[in-house]
Structure 1
Amino acid sequence: MLKIISNQDFDTFAQNAKDAPRKRSHHNLHEQLDAGVQRLFISTEPETYMRPHRHSEEHKWELFLVLKGQLDLLIFDDEGNVTERHSLSPETNRAIEIPPGTWHGYACMQSGTVGLEIKEGAYIPTPQEDFAPWSPAEGEDGANDYRDWMSTAQPNTK
């Protein structure tokens, strides 16, 4: 079955993120959580917090494409220092593939941002040990401050 995603769908995805308490929304293309390849649109707003994490399984790479708006990808070392920052947007870098075991997080830089994430499945919720221990959990005290810091953090800062 063909799956066609229109510009109207992008507008709907963006509105869903604006309306969501976490200020982000997912639209899965894969029909089962145990699908061998996970394909999903992720819509985000600048108020969302995407906590730094890693995918520790050797086969869990992540390909992320920004189709509308802008996300900045931050890469961290094991101590929480920013080692790289990459702008992802239709005007800069469209896509990035993150290797397994890499600490990373995203800062949404523009309202209405829509990206496409592709990764090997099956879907398994991120285990606690794969969330960065030097970053606050979503909803904890300091999470909004950390999100704001991520929006401007540059390499060689913690």
Structure 2
Amino acid sequence: MSGGAPRFLDQALFAELAAQAQLSPRGRQHHNFHAMEEPCHRLAVGLQPHTYIAPHRHLAADKAETLLVLRGRLGLLMFDEAGKVSGQRLLVAGGECVGVDLPPGVFHALVVLEADSLLFECKAGPYRALGAGEQADWAPREGDPAAPTYLAWMRGHFV
């Protein structure tokens, strides 16, 4: 057992992450509770509506991913292999559905529907960049000129 002090997911942390995400060109900010070599990665993420989280999946058998909305509203889209929407769910802090546990292999993306949204994410470490077959070939990558149009299309599923 490590001897660190407890770290809290409190309103001060939420405000800091929301402010940092507002200043970030990517519209998001991570706060890791883990060291990169730890077997369980736990992080809080501040998110703004202009962030683009491209559809992706995690193929490794140990890469299930749990997402819980701590503040705000997010739209979750799931896709089949061809890029057709296979499921969607509104995730709302304090709402009827606050999160999801995604098994490995499911293409998914998030749309931020409320400014200053925050989520808690947990998945197995260590960190591995997305590999072959994990980025959706049918969707633009972050930074692609087509990404804002695709983000608007994804957002349209929740209005």
Tell me, yes or no, whether TM beats 0.5: yes
Deviation at 1:5, TM superposition (A): 2.5
Are 2:80 and 1:57 aligned? no
- Residues 82-103 of structure 1 show CA distances to partners (whole Å, capped at 9, x for unaligned) of 0111111122311210000000
- Cα gap change, 1:124/1:74 in structure 2, threshold over 3 Å: closer, same or farther? same
The RMSD of aligned alpha carbons is: 1.1
- Residues 73-116 of structure 1 show CA distances to partners (whole Å, capped at 9, x for unaligned) of 10000000001111111223112100000000000000000000
Structure 2, gaps ≥5 residues long: none
Deviation at 1:152, TM superposition (A): 1.4
> 4+ runs of 1 displaced by more than 3 Å?
none
Q: Report the secondary structure of 1:21's partner residue.
A: coil
Match of 2:41 among 34, 38, 42: 38
Please name the residue that 2:32 is paired with.
Answer: 28
- Residues 118-152 of structure 1 show CA distances to partners (whole Å, capped at 9, x for unaligned) of 00111111125311000001111210100111111
TM-score, normalised to structure 2, is 0.93
TM-score, normalised to structure 1, is 0.93
CA distance in 2, matches of 1:38, 1:153: 30
Structure 1, gaps ≥5 residues long: none
**Corresponding pairs, count:** 153
- Is the Cα contact below 8 Å between 1:71 and 1:108 reproduced in 2? yes
* Identity within the alignment, %: 33
CA distance in 1, matches of 2:153, 2:45: 22
Q: Report the secondary structure of 2:90's partner residue.
A: strand
